Amino acid sequence: MRRLTMTMTATAALMTAGMTHAADVEVLHWWTAGGEAAALNVLKEDLAGQGIGWEDMPVAGGGGTQAMTVLRARVTSGNAPTAVQMLGFDITDWAKEGALANLNDIAAENGWDEVVPAALQKFSKYDGEWVAAPVNVHSTNWVWADKSLMDELGIDQPQTWDDFIAALDKAKEAGLTPLAHGGQAWQDGTLFDAVLLATGGPDFYQKTMIDLDPEALGSDTMKQVFDRMGVLRGYVDDNFSGRDWNLATAMVINDEAVFQMMGDWAKGEFLNAGQTPGEDFLCFRFPDTQEQVLFNSDQFAMFSQGDAVSDEQAALATAIMSPGFQIAFNKVKGSVPARTDLDVGELDACGQQGYEEFKAAASSGNLFGSFAHGHANPAGVKNAMYDVITAHFNGEYDSETAVEELVTAVEINM
């Protein structure tokens, strides 16, 4: 009966709403900005159609860290929310504590195993059990470019690292800021992610960022990565430190800077400023990483409230994974759906391109969790790496010291 209602459309849902008064779901999340919160409203409406009320518990800040703090207080006080938005290793950590509900039945019924790529399943599942439902896939190795400036300077879309440097040089000669960047640890990390992948290739990324192999971390290739970060630092203006990412994006929008390296959420800023993808701005993969996709994925985990998953939690999980919601949500959010079997004609050009590349990368083993966004290694290691990368980018370490510090940082925090 329960499963039946879930697949029903709005007309049928009207009937069930009158039937039983199901309990409400309390959802802890950090999607509070206009577009993404509105997109989440789709989910709320969906559940309302099934007679399930939505108790909204938004806590923004620090890309979800604030919400995770609140979550800990809530769980400790014995008052856990029904469902919680989570990222990467946080899901694994909570699953280890035995706090998450097992969603295997729902997953089996809806065939999640077939449609969700293995790289995502690594986080959605713990010990063979589904514990979270992925909502979206953001990809982080994008370059955003000012098309009018590129045309003016005669820059073609750079395909390799050398192309990219040549393009940056042209911009610098023209007196522009070549690379718009905000000096915050996670932004430095996002840049580092892409440079490392471009320099060392996918195997190196796997070894260093995911397997945390000390030998690879201390290798000459790693030194080259830091050297390249130093090179990029030369193309960033002097006022970069502490700048919010969206003010960096504004520099590209306002024709002050030519490129920005940022995740796909930057698209929203361009669209909001009335720009059109392909005409006013371009989106392309970071040079030398065209084949790969670095991702982070927002997921919803259900907190176990007794023995089995409650009907409401099951309904929520199913609704999250439904094709309709995945498309509707990601159209607004700028990310792509987390399942690979959808027709995404409704997404814009960048979105469609992103989805195709995501699917291709997933099937060719080129889909990697982004280190900067907590999908390659646990929070302790990630932040320790941030410290080193940021210190190097701000000129506190030279490349050799940075490599040494990186090895130590991983060792302490493993």
- CA-to-CA distance for 63 and 2, rounded, in angstroms? 34
Q: Which of residues 34-63 bind another protein (CB under 8 A)?
A: 34-38, 40-41, 44, 54-63
Piece of the chain touching another protein by CB under 8 A; list 125-133, 162-170, 307-315, 372-380: 372-380
Among 238, 306, 307, 345, binds another protein (CB under 8 A): 238
Residue 58 vs 214, nearer CB to another protein:
58
- CA-to-CA distance for 253 and 295, rounded, in angstroms? 24
Hey, which residues does 86 pair with through a beta bridge?
299
Residue 36 vs 311, nearer CB to another protein:
36
137 binds another protein (CB under 8 A): no
CA neighbor of 262 nearest in space, from 191, 340, 163: 191
Give least dist CB 277 to another protein, A: 16
Among 152, 237, 291, 404, binds another protein (CB under 8 A): 237
CA neighbor of 339 nearest in space, from 141, 118, 128, 123: 118
Query: Coil, helix or strand for 293?
Result: strand
Among 109, 173, 341, 396, binds another protein (CB under 8 A): 396
Residue 282 vs 391, nearer CB to another protein:
391
Site string for another protein, 302-341 (x = CB under 8 A): --------------------------------x-------
In DSSP notation, 102-155 reads P-HHHHHHHTHHHHS-HHHHHHHEETTEE-EEE-EEEE--EEEEEHHHHHHHTP
Give least dist CB 379 to another protein, A: 5
Q: Which of residues 157-196 bind another protein (CB under 8 A)?
A: 183-185
Site string for another protein, 67-106 (x = CB under 8 A): -xxx-xxxxxxxx-x-----------xx--x---------
Among 378, 399, 401, 404, binds another protein (CB under 8 A): 378
Site string for another protein, 102-121 (x = CB under 8 A): --------------------
401 binds another protein (CB under 8 A): no
Q: Where are the beta strands (DSSP E) in 194-275?
A: 257-261
- CA-to-CA distance for 372 and 286, rounded, in angstroms? 15
Which helix (H) or strand (E) segment is 47 a member of?
helix 34-49
Site string for another protein, 249-268 (x = CB under 8 A): -x--xx-x------x-x--x
User: How are beta strands 129-130 and 125-126 bridged, if at all?
Assistant: antiparallel
- CA-to-CA distance for 289 and 317, rounded, in angstroms? 33
Number of H helices and E strands in the chain, helices first, is 20, 15
413 binds another protein (CB under 8 A): yes
Residue 200 vs 277, nearer CB to another protein:
277
Among 20, 160, 239, 364, binds another protein (CB under 8 A): 239
Give least dist CB 405 to another protein, A: 8
Task: Using only the alpha carbons of the chain, give its radius of gyration.
Answer: 22
Q: Give the dihedral sign, CA 126/357/202/89.
A: negative
- CA-to-CA distance for 294 and 241, rounded, in angstroms? 24
Q: Which of residues 193-222 bind another protein (CB under 8 A)?
A: none
